Structure 1
Amino acid sequence: PCTVCSPDQEFVKTTGDLLQIPMEELLESLRIRTITAGKQQQVFKKPCSRAECETRRDCLAKVIYARLFEWLVLVINENIYTDPSVWTSFIGLLDVYGFEAFPENNLEQLCINYANEKLQQHFVAHYLKAQQEEYAAEGLQWSFINYQDNQNCLDLIEGNPLSIFSLLNEECRLNRPSNTDLFQTRIEKALSSNQCLSRDKFSKKPNFIISHYAGKVCYQLAAMVEKNKDAVPPELLHVLQNSKDPLLQKLFPVTEKNQNNTKTQNRAAVVTVVSKFKSSLEHLMEILSRTTPHYIRCIKPNADCKAMTFRREEVLSQLQACGIVEAITISAAGFPVRIPFQSFTERYDLLRKSWGSSKKRVWGETPVMDDDKAPRAAVLEILQDAVRGQTPAQETGNGAEIPSVYCGKTKVFLSNSVLELLEARRAEVLNEKAFCIQCCWRRFKEKKTAKEKHSATLIQAALRSWLAKNRFQRMRRAARVIQRAWRRWTAKAAALAAAELDEGEGEEFPAPGATLAKAPCSLDTELQAAVQFWPLGLVLAAAPVSVTGPRRALALLSCLRGLQEGSRGHLGCGITSIRALPQGSVRFHCRRSPLHFANVSPHTEGFSITGFNQILLDRQELLPT
């Protein structure tokens, strides 16, 4: 028999301790097969090969897991179960595998895809039935004709008398080693008429291809027959029944049939995996047919389980695998868009208002209708305007005579083309309304801006006026101050001139060459200089007033030269009159004081003297030392 390596003995011992089975009995059940033959029921023991020992090991693990799972479900149901007389309805949750297609597929994938085919057929039947009931309730005479049915695929897998399952079960009942090439030939010969069956001719391994509703899947025939048998050796059951663990004793109870073990093995009584799976699936479909199912499709955006990651190819394959694409295809065969009258009117009522206000109706005013018929009439009016352009349609008893459109009792049924047309018209109207709103807003904004500018202009004008008025008032006050100062100075100058005339009247001027007398002590130095040299003011007064510029400067220069020639040699003693030098004392009367001409200044470029004020300042040069 097959021996166990020394490192693996520890695992065997641990397994025996957990199962509470002696290690020797566990090894014997895994390595030795018991055969009962003949009428005398003779028992023979045959050592197993390494591959058979591995198969028995896996079988032991699977049978324990299966019994444990069934027991757990039974315990849960017993605790939450209620008497059927108390309740009349229930809620059931069914979680099944999705469609599977791997690089290498075998019996497991075949069973899972078979279950998905059955559920897809039920989903399509339920969906079509629901659609037909909705159409009938709305008074629409319609039947689905153009849709894909997967009955051919189901006939290929489970049909009678010949199918893949029947041939697989027959191969399992034969008491001979399985030949995959021969089994492939039998399948191709028996099921060649089915269009859903094909084969990968480029593969060296025996295989067959089934065209499912979600796509083609290639299945390998290697080890498929052995997996379908799934027979539990009686030695393993006997060892598990002899376990001292209480849970295993419940899972594998000892029966009279197991104790006697005298019944011969009957090949016709072999229950295969596909047979059990088929019967279980049929029972499930019976329950689903008596209930109202609701389908929830779970889509995984990526295989890495990462957030915010969406892979288009993986999602599309899942949509195809769970039948969403097929459902959409079936829905497109009828009226995929169904909108209640109220929702339709709320969304597309602007189409009626937009054309109804600007274009005349040929049928006149709308007659008064009942409240029940008013929504349908509004929907018909919108459809007539939108779909037929601006030509009103004749209303019939069955609804609007428009292709791909039907008005039921509470809903309007539309095709995709009509929906696209309605949405396009609605977008146009919305664009027009948006443009109108934009125009009104721009006009309001421009008016508001103009008013703001006008208001700003008024504010600026008022502020500038206030500033100008304040500046004018300040300037006027400053001018008044200057005027007062000027008048005060003018008055003082006039007073000084009057005092000079009053004091100089009756006095005698000295002869040429004589020194001038000193001024009275009451006058200061400036006044003394003004009194002594007042004839210079007469020179300025004698210049022509109408002449300006350089000619006036030349006239003043000629007068001064006359003074200089008439008093050459006596300038240091004073300035004499500009008249002819008299002989002796001369009494001179002047009606205007020279101080009145003190602000008349000669040209500054040719002369350094700028008026009588400069003469008063240069007293150190003019006064005698």
Structure 2
Amino acid sequence: MRVGSDNIVQKLTLSQAVETRDALAKSIYAGLFEWLVEQINKSLAVGKRLTGRSISILDIYGFESFDRNSFEQFCINYANERLQQHFNRHLFKLEQEEYIQDGIDWAKVDFDDNQDCLHLFEKKPLGLLSLLNEESTFPNGTDYTFANKLKQHLNSNPCFKGEREKAFTVSHFAGEVTYDTTGFLEKNRDLLHLDSIQLLSSCSCHLPKAFASNMLNQSEKPVVGPLHKAGGADSQKLSVATKFKGQLFQLMQRLESTTPHFIRCIKPNNFQSPGSYEQGLVLQQLRCCGVLEVVRISRSGYPTRMPHQKFAKRYGFLLLENAASQDSLSVSVAILHQFNILPEMYQVGYTKLFFRTGQIGILEDTRNRTLHGILRVQSCFRGHQARRHFKELHRGIATLQSFVRGDKTRKEYAVLLQRHRAAVIIQKQIKGMNAKKTFKNIRDASIVIQSVRKIQKWPRLPDAMVRSI
């Protein structure tokens, strides 16, 4: 135990040692759980860093009511009570407030509000959590004295009812739940001694050391709240209920900053058997979760809504007359009249149009058909333009090719003509040379023959022979 700046060693009884062991086990489990969540969030943070957006999923079991309900069911049902109010606020209050603020003729749908039950838990100084923390600080406080204190201060609350011995009943949104206060104070204190943290620090494994370091770091933070029991570690100055409430409020702040979507899971039977449907059980769950009121609001309300500017921009081109100079509200009303939408199927608000289920589908189908026809006309016109441009391009290419081919043919013909002329000249020269050579040979032969005749003085040959020669 730490008393001031001194440490005092005290022997524990068997029950105290068991409680200390259990507290150490729960601390290790809590540290491991937080470590796993941190690792998972790090691996999933890549997409958020790239897009700046994220999706958070809260999966929690509904209200619990067993034959014996203890501190665990007390915390779980408190959390469900707070989440149920968040559900009611978004699906009942905000939904109907939007109708009223926009000037819609609307008959308000009543629903059960659980604010009184939340006051029972959270009211200071006389609330369940405050009285639990107060009794946990008393060294001589017991579960029995805690139960008597609740009956003394809270019997006037309509959501609270004291029971015999150490029990009390709370009227939750889902129904009445009876709690047995046995073990409430000890579980709320959840005392972890400093030597347990030192034990974790001395481990050779990395994770227990990290858990011990986190506990010591928490002990250096300033204390928020009065709950502190001598002998506990500094990190245990806050009770479990106080920590749970703080974490729950952080969760609610996170939920309020997001766009919520609710999925209600209904258990069909208590035997976990497929194909078995218990109508009474399902109806009870629908009533407890407020689903019946949500269905009633959806059926009588206007689930589809759209601002005037967006509606006019989306469907304004469907008007038969030009409405470019009109304001968005006039355009919206003209569209509704043109398509003969019944007045009871919509309402015109100050800033939005409100439609009943299925009404916007008529406009959307017409818009899609019109856009499809426009796209068909545009595709035909663009095809015509493309084909005309192609023909013009084809004629230009053919003309250019004819000029190029003509110029190329003329050049080839000029080269061929030049070669032909050169060949003719060469042939002429060769033929002339051959003719001259033949003539020279005949002439030389004639001269030789004539010269031989003169020398040998041959008789004169007849003229016919001379001509033949």
Same-fold status (TM-score > 0.5): yes
Q: Tell me by how many angstroms 1:189 deviates.
A: 2.2
Rounded to whole Å, the distance in 2 between the matches of 1:165 and 1:412 is: 44
- Larger helix proportion, structure 1 or 2? 2
Paired residue for 1:172, among 115, 136, 145? Answer: 136
Choose 1 or 2 for highest CA Rg: 1
Aligned residue for 1:226? 186
1:509-588 → structure 2 map (5 Å cutoff): none
Q: Residue 519 of structure 1 corresponds to which residue in structure 2?
A: none
The separation in 2 between residues aligned to 1:141 and 1:374, in whole angstroms, is 23
Give the residue type in structure 1 aligned to 2:96.
Answer: Q
Is 2:71 the partner of 1:107?
Answer: yes
**Given the superposition, is the C-alpha separation of residues 313 and 239 from structure 1 closer, same or farther in structure 2, using an over 3 Å criterion?**
same
Instruction: Give the alignment of 1:585-624 within 5 angstroms.
Output: none
Match for residue 392 of structure 2?
none
Structure 1: gaps (5+ residues): 1-34, 342-368, 384-396, 400-407, 414-625
**Match in the other structure for 2:210:** 250
- CA distance in 2: counterparts of 1:97 and 1:44, whole angstroms: 42
Check whether the contact 2:171–2:177 (CA below 8 A) recurs between aligned residues.
Answer: yes
Task: Measure the CA separation in 2 of the matches of 1:172 and 1:122.
Answer: 30
- Give TM-score, length-normalised by structure 1: 0.46
Residues 334-388 of structure 1: CA deviation (Å, up to 9, x unaligned): x6254879xxxxxxxxxxxxxxxxxxxxxxxxxxx95431445x525x99xxxxx
Q: Whole-Å Cα distance in 2 between the matches of residues 57 and 241 of structure 1?
A: 16
In structure 1, what is the Cα distance between the partners aligned to 2:116 and 2:155?
A: 13
Q: 1:276 Cα shift?
A: 0.6
Residue correspondence of structure 1 range 289-438 to structure 2 within 5 A: 289-328=256-295, 331=297, 336=300, 338=302, 370-376=334-340, 379-380=342-343, 409=353, 411-412=355-356
Query: Which residue in the other structure is 1:583 paired with?
Result: none
- Give the AA of the match of 1:106: S
Query: How much has 1:244 moved relative to structure 2?
Result: 1.1
Residues 168 and 179 in structure 2, CA contact (< 8 A), matched pair in contact too: yes
Shift of the 317–136 alpha-carbon distance from structure 1 to 2, 3 Å rule, reads: closer
Distance 1:255 1:275 in 2: 17
1:199 equivalent in structure 2: 162
Deviation of residue 36 (structure 1)?
4.3
Call closer, same or farther: CA 1:254–1:194 in 2, change over 3 Å. Answer: closer
- Following the alignment from structure 2 to structure 1, what is the Cα–Cα distance between the partners of residues 117 and 264? 22
Q: Say if 2:4 is the partner of 1:44.
A: no
- CA distance in structure 2 between the aligned counterparts of 1:147 and 1:255, rounded to whole angstroms: 44
- Mapped to 1, the partners of 2:110 and 2:41 lie a distance apart of 44
TM-score normalised by structure 2 residue count? 0.60
Q: Which residue of 2 aligns with 1:208?
A: 168
Deviation at 1:302, TM superposition (A): 1.8
For structure 2, the residue ranges without an aligned partner over 5 or more in a row are 221-228, 306-332, 358-469
1:310 Cα shift? 0.8
Give the Cα–Cα distance (whole angstroms) in 2 for the partners of residues 267 and 158 of structure 1: 26
Contact persistence 2:64–2:77 (CA under 8 A):
yes
Q: Name which of 272, 277, 295 aligns with 2:239.
A: 272
Find the aligned partners of 2:96 and 2:213 in 1 and give their Cα distance: 52
Matched letter for residue 324 of structure 1: V
Q: Judge conservation of contact 1:99–1:322 (CA < 8 Å) in 2.
A: no
For residues 13-35 of structure 1, give each alpha carbon's deviation from its aligned partner in whole angstroms, at most 9, with x where no partner exists: xxxxxxxxxxxxxxxxxxxxxx3
Q: Distance in 1 between matches of 2:245 and 2:219?
A: 31
Q: CA, structure 1 residues 312+412, in 2 after alignment: closer, same or farther (shift >3 Å)?
A: closer
Please tell me the residue identity of whatever aligns with 2:207: L
Give the match for residue 148 of structure 1. Answer: 112
Question: Could you tell me which residue of structure 2 aligns to residue 240 of structure 1?
Answer: 200
Query: Does residue 7 of structure 2 align to residue 74 of structure 1?
Result: no
Which residue does the alignment assign to 1:186?
A: 149
Q: SS of 2:213's equivalent?
A: coil
Q: CA deviation at 1:129?
A: 4.7
Structure 1 residues 42, 274: CA separation in 2 closer, same or farther (over 3 Å shift)? closer
Aligned match of 1:116 = 80
Compute the displacement of 1:186 (Å).
Answer: 1.6
Mapped to 1, the partners of 2:5 and 2:82 lie a distance apart of 48
- CA distance in 1 between counterparts of 2:216 and 2:101 reads 60
Among all aligned residue pairs of Structure 1 and Structure 2, give the percentage whose two residues are the same amino acid.
Answer: 34
Q: 2:146 matched to 1:159?
A: no
Cα deviations by residue, 1:119-170 (Å, 9 ceiling, x for unpaired):
1111111113552366369751447473321110000011222200000001
> Are residues 340 and 55 of structure 1, via their aligned partners in 2, closer, same or farther at CA, if it must alter by over 3 Å?
closer
Deviation of 1:206 after TM superposition, in Å, equals: 1.3
| Aligned residue number for residue 604 of structure 1 | none
Aligned to 2:381: none
**Residue type at the aligned position of 1:118:** R
Instruction: Report SS of the residue matched to 1:92.
Output: coil
2:57 corresponding residue in structure 1: 93
Q: Deviations over 1:550-599 (max 9, x none)?
A: xxxxxxxxxxxxxxxxxxxxxxxxxxxxxxxxxxxxxxxxxxxxxxxxxx
Counterpart secondary structure, 1:102: coil
Deviation at 1:108?
Answer: 0.7
